[in-house]
């Protein structure tokens, strides 16, 4: 027996042996094997072909998420300029399956209720292609800040990051969303191979406490789904109480929901009806990922559909026909002068294409000296704990605007005439906060590496002055 096996909690092992029977030996043996490492292509930033050509190390596709890849741990992709540039997000392979089951579409309204640190939110944003509204919520303030940073690093545009309790989100957004993800806090048994802390914190009482908390969160999440909408529930644990049990108990009091099959069926394992009393109809269509059967850590996913009309599907079709989320140009519902100022700055100083503005409809809004583009589908932000009300465009200084880092991150080379490509050595210097030697350029530049925007710089006298935010600077 190796160290990892001895460290597993006894009561957990006993329970898994009882449940898995003949399968238990293979399950236990997986704890002695190396775990799988995954990263996810940022769908906002490159096509599959571009990505594969740009990546300097070998990748192997993950079968359940079209943007997911396995990599060899030795390559350390977290210590690469392309990671800082938001080309990809490092994410446990199984964790990519819940968003595949959610199947977000451009133009939709989507809620990620338990969103930090943002793996699934940034995956959802990729699939939405910058069209529609994503509300990413995380109840714990400190974790919400990390979520907000990841949303920025990945260049996400139509996303509001907030930090509210599920009850408050339910009250603010009744029957509002086309799709809702509840990636619930859980006992984390699926993370035992990866995280020592998960093994240490586990107890049968914690499992029970998690099941009760999940029931309460699902209850609130259900209120935010529009008729005909989708609710996906996921955990990274094995315990039936937190998985088939939570979903079955929810369905007993929510006749308006039923379990739906997903395209992942056949690729992943089935939910286990025999492991709980009173399993809901269709519980076999919920999904499990097992470390001894699939190449990933433990996970559970259920996709539920709320009965009712298909109003949101019509909005989706409209968005697809129009190629955007509906209205076209920036709305001037608030401060017309501010909107004109921001539009002029983007067009003249940053040479941002009019097509970019058409693809990003919203309201230009001032919060203190910060100017944001709030997604057009967003309801009033009044009374909400909001960390990021949309895409930050600029900071207002005396008589001028300074572009916001988040804006640079949202741009592709085709969006602006101010892109300036760096070599790898220059990119590493830029990320450390150093100036870059340039030619005759003048004014704001979108400094990029490998086709990915890193941030802004200001050129004059043969140098690009570094505007990479001080708090993000690092030596790789």
Length of the chain: 476
The minimum distance between CB 166 and ligand SAM, in angstroms, equals 5
The minimum distance between CB 186 and ligand SAM, in angstroms, equals 7
Q: Say if residues 56 and 71 touch (Cβ distance below 8 Å).
A: no
Task: Pick between residue 117 and residue 240 the one whose CB is nearest to ligand SAM.
Answer: 117
Site string for ligand SAM, 66-105 (x = CB under 6 A): -----------------------------x----------
Task: Pick between residue 129 and residue 137 the one whose CB is nearest to ligand SAM.
Answer: 137
d(CA 310, CA 272): 31
**329: which 2 tokens?**
């140009």
Task: Pick between residue 117 and residue 282 the one whose CB is nearest to ligand SAM.
Answer: 117
Stretch that binds ligand SAM, among 64-72, 137-145, 357-365, 410-418 (CB under 6 A): 137-145
Stretch that binds ligand SAM, among 77-85, 115-123, 272-280, 294-302 (CB under 6 A): 115-123
Return the residue of 67, 92, 108, 138 that touches ligand SAM, per CB under 6 A: 138
Task: Pick between residue 108 and residue 138 the one whose CB is nearest to ligand SAM.
Answer: 138
> Does the protein bind ligand SAM through residue 213 (CB under 6 A)?
yes
Q: Say if residues 312 and 108 touch (Cβ distance below 8 Å).
A: yes
- Identify the CA nearest to 231 among candidates 210, 213, 246, 212: 246
Stretch that binds ligand SAM, among 72-80, 110-118, 192-200, 382-390 (CB under 6 A): 110-118
> Does the protein bind ligand SAM through residue 218 (CB under 6 A)?
no
Task: Pick between residue 67 and residue 138 the one whose CB is nearest to ligand SAM.
Answer: 138
Give Cβ neighbours of residue 80 (< 8 Å, ≥ 6 apart). 56, 476
The minimum distance between CB 122 and ligand SAM, in angstroms, equals 8
The minimum distance between CB 114 and ligand SAM, in angstroms, equals 3
CA dihedral over 174, 175, 177, 179, signed as positive or negative: positive
Site string for ligand SAM, 380-399 (x = CB under 6 A): --------------------
Place of tokens 């790898």: 424
| HSE of 58, CA atoms in CB hemisphere, 13 A | 3
Return the residue of 120, 315, 360, 409 that touches ligand SAM, per CB under 6 A: 120
Q: How big is the site for ligand SAM, counted in residues (CB under 6 A)?
A: 17
| HSE of 423, CA atoms in CB hemisphere, 13 A | 5
- Identify the CA nearest to 162 among candidates 202, 122, 203, 112: 112
Task: Pick between residue 166 and residue 455 the one whose CB is nearest to ligand SAM.
Answer: 166
Stretch that binds ligand SAM, among 4-12, 118-126, 265-273, 325-333 (CB under 6 A): 118-126
> Does the protein bind ligand SAM through residue 292 (CB under 6 A)?
no
d(CA 55, CA 88): 10
Q: Say if residues 110 and 133 touch (Cβ distance below 8 Å).
A: yes
Active-site residue identified among 159, 210, 236, 339 = 236
Write the DSSP assignment of 205-239 as a string of letters.
HHHHHHHHHHHHHHHHHHHTEEEEEEEEEEES---
> Does the protein bind ligand SAM through residue 140 (CB under 6 A)?
yes
- Calculate the alpha carbon distances from 251 to 71, 93, 102, 160, 245 in Å: 39, 29, 18, 30, 10
Task: Pick between residue 121 and residue 392 the one whose CB is nearest to ligand SAM.
Answer: 121
Return the residue of 93, 104, 107, 117 that touches ligand SAM, per CB under 6 A: 117
The minimum distance between CB 189 and ligand SAM, in angstroms, equals 12
**Within positions 182 to 201, which residues make up the interface with ligand SAM, using CB under 6 A?**
183, 185
Other Cβ atoms closer than 10 A to 196: 11
The C-alpha angle with vertex 279 and arms to 274 and 282, in degrees rounded to 5, equals: 100
Return the residue of 139, 198, 218, 371 that touches ligand SAM, per CB under 6 A: 139
Return the residue of 111, 217, 232, 357 that touches ligand SAM, per CB under 6 A: 217
Return the residue of 38, 119, 132, 291 that touches ligand SAM, per CB under 6 A: 119
Return the residue of 4, 54, 143, 305 that touches ligand SAM, per CB under 6 A: 143
Q: How far apart are the first and last CA of the chain?
A: 37
> Does the protein bind ligand SAM through residue 116 (CB under 6 A)?
yes
d(CA 186, CA 208): 10
236 is catalytic: yes
- Calculate the alpha carbon distances from 446 to 115, 353, 358, 364, 458 in Å: 29, 14, 20, 21, 9
d(CA 392, CA 367): 10
d(CA 330, CA 416): 18
Binding site for ligand SAM (CB under 6 A): 95, 114-120, 138-140, 143, 166, 183, 185, 213, 217
- Active site positions, annotated: 236
């Amino acid at each position: 027996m190796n160290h990892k096996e001895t460290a597993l909690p006894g009561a957990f092992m006993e329970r898994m042996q009882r449940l898995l029977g003949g399968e238990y030996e293979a399950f236990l043996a997986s704890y002695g094997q190396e775990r799988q490492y995954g990263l996810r292509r940022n769908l906002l930033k490159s096509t599959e072909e571009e990505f594969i050509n740009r990546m300097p190390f070998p990748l192997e596709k993950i079968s359940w998420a079209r943007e997911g890849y396995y990599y060899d741990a030795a390559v350390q992709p977290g210590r690469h300029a392309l990671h800082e540039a938001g080309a990809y997000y490092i994410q446990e392979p199984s964790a990519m399956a819940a968003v595949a089951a959610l199947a977000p579409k451009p133009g939709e309204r989507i809620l990620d209720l338990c969103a930090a640190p943002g793996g699934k939110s940034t995956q959802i944003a990729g699939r939405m292609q910058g069209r529609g509204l994503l509300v990413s919520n995380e109840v714990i303030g400190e974790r919400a800040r990390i979520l907000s940073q990841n949303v920025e690093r990945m260049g996400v545009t139509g996303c509001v990051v907030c930090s509210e309790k599920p009850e408050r989100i339910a009250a603010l957004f009744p029957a509002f969303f086309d799709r809702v993800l509840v990636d619930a806090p859980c006992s984390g048994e699926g993370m035992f191979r990866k995280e020592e802390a998960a093994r240490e914190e586990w107890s049968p009482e914690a499992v029970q406490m998690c099941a009760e908390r999940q029931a309460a969160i699902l209850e609130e999440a259900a209120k935010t789904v529009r008729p005909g909408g989708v609710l996906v529930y996921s955990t990274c644990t094995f315990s039936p109480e937190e998985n088939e049990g939570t979903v079955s108990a929810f369905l007993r009091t929510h006749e308006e929901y039923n379990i739906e099959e997903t395209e992942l069926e056949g690729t992943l394992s089935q939910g286990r009806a025999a492991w709980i009393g009173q399993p809901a109809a269709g519980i076999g269509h919920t999904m499990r990922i097992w470390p001894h059967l699939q190449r990933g850590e433990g996970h559970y996913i259920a996709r539920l559909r709320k009965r009712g009309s298909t109003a949101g599907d019509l909005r989706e079709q409209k968005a697809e026909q129009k190629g955007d989320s509906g209205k076209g140009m920036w709305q001037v519902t608030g401060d017309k002068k501010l909107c004109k100022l921001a539009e002029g700055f983007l067009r003249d100083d940053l040479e941002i294409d009019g097509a970019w503005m058409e693809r990003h409809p919203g309201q230009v809004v001032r919060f203190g000296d910060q100017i944001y583009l709030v997604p057009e589908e967003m309801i009033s932000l009044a009374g909400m704990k909001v960390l990021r009300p949309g895409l930050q465009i600029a900071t207002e200084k005396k008589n001028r605007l300074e572009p916001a880092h988040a804006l640079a991150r949202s741009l592709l080379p085709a969006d602006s005439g101010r892109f300036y490509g760096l070599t790898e050595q220059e990119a590493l210097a830029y990320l450390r906060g150093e100036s870059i030697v340039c030619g005759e350029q003048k004014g704001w530049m979108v400094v990029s590496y490998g086709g990915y925007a890193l941030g802004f710089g200001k050129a004059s006298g043969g140098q690009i002055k570094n505007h990479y935010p001080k708090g993000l600077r690092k030596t790789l």
